[in-house]
Structure 1
Amino acid sequence: MASSRKVIITCAVTGGAHTPTMSPHLPITPEQIADQAIDAVAAGAAIVHFHARNPADGRPTPDPDIYAPAIEKVRRATDVIVNITTSGGPKTTLDDRISAALRLKPELASLNMGSLSPYGRQRILDKFEPWQYDWERELFTAAPSRVYPNTEEMITHTIREVGAAGTKFECECYDVGHLYNVAYFAEIGLLKPPFIIQTVFGFSGGIGLEIDHITHMRNVADRLFGKDYHWSVLAPGKNQFRLCTVGAAMGSNVRVGMEDNLYLERGRLARSNAEQVARMRTILNLLSFDVASPNEARTILGL
């Protein structure tokens, strides 16, 4: 029965979309990121998804020298599954995007399965005046002209280079076409089952937040991959807990964290990633789901 399975909670502790002005609790420095990750593991996260930020101003950075102190501290303190991003901004080179994963050799790395444009993100500009740093304003002002590229060539290079050390890929699918891209890379032998599929709802340029979209994405994945995949759900902002709960009831794992949502509930900023993990764990327990430990998640995912 579905209620007897273990649900894997991923915590994405900082990301690159939110900025320091938006929340004083957003972890910025390697020490802050590591401490919040460790607390998230104690609260029930089996996987921690990492981005890094310049500790001086919070700007997202692919620099492995900044990633390393946080990840090394987390590895010393916990047995969590480390998941490092291979995404990056429009101006970030592909070599830079994969540099942290190449050096630190995580068990998992996220892999965006198609290109996106951040439609409408500039509308956030008036909500947070004044901005602490000039780069924050520029991030949103320039959004209408930006594309976050993930071409066939880029995905192929990432799979070959990062996967050579044994890292498996969490395939991030922001729309239905991205599921077909996973199937394509499987057909040509670059991705191997069982696939780890992260379906992403409600991000600009991708599929929307309606519940029937969750059903549709799952049904397409079922047709493409049969039982040869592990499924997870994430959604931004106020929809985080709502859609993760629906996904879990339908058979998915879940992702929470300040990369996707800065709030614990309406009008109340989360003070830590651990608060969000603990809230998600409580919801899952109320639904009679048990939460997977890191080692149980390794077994489930075949890491």
Structure 2
Amino acid sequence: MSQPGRKVIISCAVTGATHVPSMSEHLPLTPADIRDQAIDAARAGAAIIHLHARHPDDGRPTPSPDVFAQFVPAIADATDAVINITTGGSTRMTLDERLAYPRLLKPEMCSLNMGSMNFSIHPLAAKMPSWRYGWEKDYVEGMEDMIFRNTFRDIKRIMLELGGHGTRFEFECYDLGHLYNLAYFVDEGLVRPPFFIQSVFGILGGMGPDPENMAVMRSTADRLFGRDNYLFSVLGAGRHQMPLVTMAAIMGGNVRVGLEDSVYLAKGVKAESNAQQVAKIRRILEELSFEIATPADVRTMLGLKGADNVAFAAATA
């Protein structure tokens, strides 16, 4: 259960690469949109900002360092939030493409998917009445025949390349086996505690959004790593977002929200911004008497290298 007086980390995943523009008019697409929504989310209480990039013209996911450079330094200038850059990108990107910007930036944190998997939202295509851009329909329907690849060698490469610069990881675990994959790399000496384990529920291809699954993930992580050696965090996809992350906090964990994970604020109500979701979960947590972690708290809790050691200037050049 939760520990009295502990601080809860709120992460915000601002745009992602799964939802397409037609799913919400509020999904940030341009560098300016991503910048502004990330800054507002940080001001609302998100200590970690998880970032993907999108092509400014049509909102399709892009790994381009030039696009990332148009908003990441500005977020760092305007907030003290921990900048967390994806290494997942999208299922259509190569590993080299996914690592292009993190290699330049050498951020405090990067996400790291802990295994290859089916990853899809293709059933949503049949529910879309229209499409804003020509690429979207094929992109969503095509997920039915796509695999997100992160082999053991891929994961090792990410750990060595980025970890060698002091980058720490948000270990995204979509299934129970991903915890065992992480334990393997711990045994190999490639990563050290404290581990930030982001358990993902509700993605087709991964664990379902059943509360029982969260209990199994928590108890398994306890056995593999020891509770003092990791921080548990949860994201719930779609309509499961708020109930699951609230349960995670009550179980002693941390929370992730954001339009990458759900475009809704409540049943039938689309979130108008990432900050709205952050403000909502913050209110829920504070009403449950939890204290919200600041970016400075997070840097201490996760042993991060600090923003002063991130190569913002080099990545922009």
TM-score normalised according to structure 2 size: 0.93
1:6 aligned onto 2:3 = no
C-alpha distance in structure 2 between counterparts of 1:141 and 1:272, whole Å: 26
For residues 39-188 of structure 1, the aligned pairs below 5 Å read 39-118=40-119, 121-188=121-188
Equivalent in the alignment of 2:25:
24
| Whole-angstrom distance in 2 between the partners of 1:90 and 1:128 | 21
What is the CA–CA distance in structure 2 between the aligned matches of 1:118 and 1:6, rounded to whole Å? 32
User: 1:126: Cα distance to partner?
Assistant: 2.3
1:249 partnered with 2:254: no
Give the C-alpha shift of residue 228 in structure 1.
Answer: 0.7
- SS for the counterpart of 2:118 is coil
Identity %: 51
- SS of residue paired to 2:70: helix
Does the CA contact (< 8 Å) of 2:235 and 2:245 recur in 1? yes
Aligned to 1:274: 275
Separation in structure 2 between the aligned mates of residue 186 and residue 11 of structure 1, nearest angstrom: 27
Structure 1 residue 263 corresponds to structure 2 residue 264: yes
CA distance in 2, matches of 1:255, 1:5: 17
Instruction: Name the CA distance, whole Å, in 2 between partners of 1:236 and 1:91.
Output: 21
Name the aligned partner's letter for residue 294 of structure 2.
Answer: S
Q: Write out per-residue CA displacement over residues 137-186 of structure 1, whole angstroms, 9 at most, x where no aligned residue.
A: 11122122111111011111111111121111111000000000000011
Gaps of 5+ in 1: none
State the alpha-carbon separation in 2 of the partners of residues 5 and 39 from structure 1. Answer: 25
The CA distance in 2 between the partners of 1:90 and 1:37, in whole Å, is: 24
- List, as ranges, runs of 4+ consecutive aligned residues in structure 1 with deviation greater than 4 Å: none
Distance 1:129 1:3 in 2: 48
1:201–1:234 contact (8 Å) kept in structure 2: yes
Q: 1:243, 1:122 → 2: CA distance? A: 23
Residue identity matched to 1:282: R
Q: State the match for 1:234 in structure 2.
A: 235
Tell me which residue corresponds to 1:221: 221
The separation in 2 between residues aligned to 1:256 and 1:55, in whole angstroms, is: 23
Opposite residue 168 of structure 2, the aligned amino acid is K
Q: Which amino acid aligns with 1:56?
A: D
Q: CA deviation at 1:273?
A: 0.4
Is 1:68–1:104's contact at 8 Å kept on the other side of the alignment?
no
Question: 1:91: how far off?
Answer: 3.1
* Residues in 2 aligned to 1:220 and 1:4: alpha-carbon distance in whole angstroms: 24
CA displacement, residues 48-102 of structure 1 (integer Å, 9 cap, x when unaligned): 0000000100000111110112111001111100000001333311111111111
Letter in 2 for 1:72: P
**Over residues 248-292 of structure 1, what are the superposed CA-to-partner deviations in whole Å (9 max), with x where a residue is unaligned?**
000001000000010111111111100000000000001100101
- Whether the 8 Å contact between 1:7 and 1:289 is mirrored in structure 2 is yes
CA deviation vs aligned residue, 1:226-253 (integer Å, no higher than 9, x gap): 0211110001111101000000000001
Contact 2:11 2:257 in 1 (8 A): yes
Aligned length: 302
Check the 8 A contact 2:18/2:90 in 1, yes or no: no
Give the letter aligned to residue 123 of structure 1. Answer: P
CA apart distance, 1:299: 1.0
Partner of 1:195: 195
Alignment RMSD: 1.1
> Is the 1:43–1:274 contact (alpha carbons within 8 Å) kept by the matching residues of 2?
yes
SS of residue in 2 equivalent to 1:69:
coil
Other structure's SS at 1:26 match:
coil
Quick one: distance in 2 between partners of 1:221 and 1:191?
Answer: 15
What code does the residue aligned with 1:167 have? T
The TM-score, its normalising length taken from structure 1, stands at 0.97
Structure 2 residue runs without a partner (length 5+): 305-317
Contact persistence 1:3–1:288 (CA under 8 A): no
